[in-house]
């Protein structure tokens, strides 16, 4: 069973999906009732009234508080009960747990651990998100019926691309391209370069290089649940591997993973690109990325089904597993803390 690292910021939902209605979300096997206050802040409460455990998500909002739909107990954003029918004074012990939240990069984030350790300055934000040279293509909240660390393995692994994403992210003949990786604190970086090769399908039509390109793929995995893939292309021989990327296509695919339970997670994704927003190009890019992530989903869910079967087997490791092993070790360390 996977141990969870509780003292971390986890993606909860797209900001666009949280408003003045109570919605249910599940994170690290905890059920939450989530809504916006009248002032626009996001509240996240334990989704169970302490009277008879009626879900607060089937209650109603009373201003900034939730009224339980069973007997009318009402809880404010801090989780304190502010009204209990027939009781002129509500005991201090009448409360539900409240979870700290924050917003960044179009996402609502939630802190599932010790509330006093929640530091909103540490909520993830990629600098390019605020750079006017980049435009944002916001994606989906993809339900994946697999353990979130299986998805994390995938997002630490450039080598699967040539096999799983042949119509979107890969080009043939690059199976043996060298992959490098290193640990940087609670982050694992995995990278490889493809020198003098064709554009990948997803980049076709975005820029005419007049021939082959040098391509890079840098996978930045911030444990326990954030992956940012920096990938791009520049004309072959113009110095991209040495840092000259003045004339290039560059994108950042951001993956924010919400662990639901041991066998399911949500993959929130968006893409930043170093070109202006364009409705036609952006929709084509969104469609192609959606196709690629569905390919991952199909593979990961099939793996989970096999893992759930009773069988005797011994997992083998390949040289390409080094970054995934590092990532899982970091998550284990965070969980142990």
pTM for this predicted structure:
0.93
Comma-separated ranges of CATH 3.90.380.10 domains in the chain: 126-336
Distance (Å, rounded) from C-alpha 269 to C-alpha 330?
Answer: 22
Comma-separated ranges of CATH 2.102.10.10 domains in the chain: 9-121
Name residues whose C-beta falls within 8 Å of residue 336's C-beta, 6 or more positions apart in sequence: 3
40-45-48 Cα angle (round to 5): 140
Residue with tokens 């929709």: 283
Q: 126-336 is classed in which CATH architecture?
A: Alpha-Beta Complex (3.90)
In tens, the pLDDT along 116-129 reads 999 999 999 999 99
Euclidean distance between the first and the last CA atom of the chain, given in angstroms as a whole number: 17
Does the domain made of 9-121 have the CATH classification 2.102.10.10?
Answer: yes
In tens, the pLDDT along 199-244 reads 888 888 888 899 999 999 999 999 999 999 999 999 999 999 999 9
pLDDT bin (cut points 50, 70, 90) of residue 166 is low
pLDDT at 311: 80
Distance (Å, rounded) from C-alpha 108 to C-alpha 123?
Answer: 10
């Amino acid at each position: 069973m996977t141990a969870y690292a509780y003292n971390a910021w986890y993606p909860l939902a797209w900001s666009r999906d949280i408003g003045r209605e109570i919605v249910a979300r599940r994170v690290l096997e905890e059920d939450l009732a989530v809504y916006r206050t009248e002032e626009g802040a996001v509240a996240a409460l334990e989704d169970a009234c302490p009277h008879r455990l009626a879900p607060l998500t089937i209650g109603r909002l009373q201003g900034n508080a939730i009224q339980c739909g069973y007997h009318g107990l009402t809880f404010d954003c801090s989780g304190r009960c502010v009204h209990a029918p027939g009781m002129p004074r509500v005991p201090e012990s009448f409360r539900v747990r409240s979870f700290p939240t924050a917003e960044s990069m179009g996402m609502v984030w939630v802190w599932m651990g010790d509330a006093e350790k929640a530091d909103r300055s540490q909520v993830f934000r990629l600098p390019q998100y605020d750079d006017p040279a980049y435009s944002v293509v916001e994606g989906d909240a993809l339900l994946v019926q697999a353990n979130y660390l299986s998805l994390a393995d995938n997002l630490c692994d450039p080598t699967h691309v040539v096999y799983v994403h042949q119509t979107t992210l890969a080009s043939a003949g690059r199976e043996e391209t060298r992959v490098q990786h290193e640990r940087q604190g609670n982050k694992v970086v995995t990278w490889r370069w493809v020198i003098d090769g064709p554009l990948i399908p997803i980049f076709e039509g975005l820029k005419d290089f007049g021939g082959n390109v040098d391509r890079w793929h840098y996978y930045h995995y911030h444990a326990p649940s954030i992956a940012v893939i920096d990938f791009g292309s520049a004309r072959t021989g113009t110095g991209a591997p040495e840092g000259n990327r003045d004339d290039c296509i560059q994108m950042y695919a951001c993956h924010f993973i919400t662990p639901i339970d041991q066998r399911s997670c949500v993959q929130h994704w968006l893409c930043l690109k170093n070109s202006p927003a364009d409705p036609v190009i952006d929709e084509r890019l969104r469609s192609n990325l959606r196709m690629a992530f569905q390919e991952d989903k199909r593979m990961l869910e099939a793996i989970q089904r096999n893992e759930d079967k009773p069988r005797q087997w011994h997992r083998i490791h390949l040289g390409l597993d080094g970054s995934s092993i590092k990532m899982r070790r970091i998550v284990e360390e965070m969980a142990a803390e």
